[in-house]
Amino acid sequence: MTEQNDEHLVNAFIDLESNLLANPWMRQQAEEGLKKQLIAEVPEMVSRKAELAALITLDVGDYLEFMQEAELAYQFALWRSVVTLIGVAAENLTDNLYANIDQINSLSGVKTAKKKIFGDDSRLDEKRKIAILLFFGIITKMNHDDLLAITALRNKYAHGNIKDQDIEQDARKVMPLFRKVLNERFDSKNTVVDGVITPRQI
């Protein structure tokens, strides 16, 4: 909305819907309209949920809450939320894995604190942490590449040019990528035999 006076043009965004919903009649109309809309969209929501690969992970952490919120956003086609939440989930997973590195063993057998080699954790960006995880064999090359791809997609929407964005397409990329990382991490060390998670024999 643009308002013009004698001297200036002012851009403003105005949302007064909450004021209208204070009216009981308007609230009832809004509820009925929303119910109809949600019912009509249920088949597509279920179809979007069915697109997602099944998942088993032993990497249990806070990131799961972000991932589950992202899945809900995926069902509702809230594409920007999907990219953002999966970006946060991937960052949280990376940080958790990196935090598990305590000391570094040198070829001579001397142990050195991680901080002395790589510096303070808070000063390392995600790309560097992902590279370090690969170097120490905590993640595979495929995990490394997929986590970098997720980071790039998240940054595209945090810092990129809106005109160059295709949010639905990118959300449909980022969600499977993250589930792929988790499934590959599980499958590389475990299998399921007769419904029981069993470590692979290496």
**How do residues 37-71 score in pLDDT, each as one tens digit?**
999 999 999 999 999 989 999 988 899 999 999 99
CATH architecture, range 52-199: Up-down Bundle (1.20)
CB 87 within 8 A of CB 154: yes
35 pLDDT above the threshold of 60: yes
Q: What is the pLDDT of residue 106?
A: 62
Structure tokens at 169: 């397409």
Q: What is the pLDDT of residue 135?
A: 87
Torsion sign (Cα): 114, 120, 124, 126 = positive
pLDDT-derived band at 160, boundaries 50, 70, 90: low
Which residue is listed with tokens 């204070």?
Answer: 22
pLDDT-derived band at 2, boundaries 50, 70, 90: low
Report the SS3 class of residue 52: coil
Q: What is the pLDDT of residue 97?
A: 92
Quote the CA–CA distance of 143 and 130 in Å, as a whole number: 9
104 pLDDT above the threshold of 80: no
Quote the CA–CA distance of 123 and 164 in Å, as a whole number: 30
84 pLDDT above the threshold of 70: yes
| Residue-range domain boundaries for the chain | 52-199
Quote the CA–CA distance of 1 and 97 in Å, as a whole number: 47
Mean pLDDT over all residues of the chain? 86
**For a pLDDT cut of 70, what percent of the chain falls above it?**
85
For the chain, the helix, strand and coil percentages under 3-state DSSP, each to the nearest 5: 65, 10, 25
**Residues ≥6 apart with Cβ < 8 Å to 49:** 71, 74, 75
181 pLDDT above the threshold of 90: yes
Record the pTM: 0.82
51 or 5, which is more confident: 51
Q: What is the pLDDT of residue 81?
A: 93
Q: CA 165 → CA 75, 76, 83, 145, 169, distances in Å? A: 20, 19, 12, 21, 9
Quote the CA–CA distance of 20 and 98 in Å, as a whole number: 50
Q: Work out the average pLDDT over 188-195.
A: 85
User: Residue 172 gets which letter from DSSP?
Assistant: H
3 pLDDT above the threshold of 60: no
